Amino acid sequence: MDPWPHDGSRGDDNRVQTGVAWHMPAKAITYAVERDVPDDEARRLWIAAGFTDGIPVYGWDGLPALLANSTLLVTARDGAKLVGLCRALTDRLVVCHIADLLVDGTYQRRGIGRELVARTRAAAGEHAELILVSNEEATGFYERIGLRGVGNVWTDAD
Ligand SMILES: CC(C)(COP(=O)(O)OP(=O)(O)OC[C@H]1O[C@@H](n2cnc3c(N)ncnc32)[C@H](O)[C@@H]1OP(=O)(O)O)[C@@H](O)C(=O)NCCC(=O)NCCS
């Protein structure tokens, strides 16, 4: 069937085509650039994403500074619940370092991580180059969303 009917409806097929593959949209998830993300919400997300010991070296004591000193926080929420976060350091001009990308385990594989990276890139500015250091488990994800890797450093720079 035509996935893009011209009458504005989606018929009975509510999938969307991204150009790579067919995806179910992450329904009811809202995305935003937030200035302050509460520490307790962030801590819950860190745990839900699998990082039960908090921040390397600093544990949970490091979390408030991590959030406060970031220059870009893009969130994904299911209602009020924080289910995803992209934490970045950027000049919003030429470079954007993604320092953390987290999606709650029960919300993974629904396109939220991809969307958070896309929105981070958009908020950082069209000419900013993304750069990040990936953990081993996430390399397939970064590859899948079109970044290029050199070792465990990934960038969208040419
Ligand atoms: C890595 C992470 C952010 C991905 O978020 P997500 O919301 O599950 O990813 P998406 O649903 O947007 O996935 C986009 C695509 O990548 C694929 N993908 C997701 N995680 C993957 C993985 N670990 N390995 C391979 N492919 C993966 C998805 O299947 C999807 O593929 P598609 O284009 O065929 O549909 C999430 O798994 C997470 O928070 N992990 C724990 C924290 C972490 O490791 N963060 C990365 C730190 S460097």
Lowest mean pLDDT among 10-14, 28-32, 35-39, 114-118: 10-14
* Domain 24-155 bears CATH identifier 3.40.1260.10: no
SS3 41: helix
Q: Is 43 in the pocket of ligand 1 (CB under 6 A)?
A: no
Q: Is 75 in the pocket of ligand 1 (CB under 6 A)?
A: no
* Predicted local distance difference test score (pLDDT) of residue 23: 52
> Using CA positions, which residue lies closest to atom 29 of ligand 1?
109
Residue 80 is given by DSSP the state T
SS3 64: helix
**Torsional sign, CA 126, 158, 138, 109:** positive
* Predicted local distance difference test score (pLDDT) of residue 25: 54
Domain parsing of the chain, residue ranges: 24-155
Q: Which is the closest atom of ligand 1 to the Cα of 84?
A: 39
| pLDDT over 70 (residue 13) | no
The pTM (predicted TM-score) of the whole model is 0.85
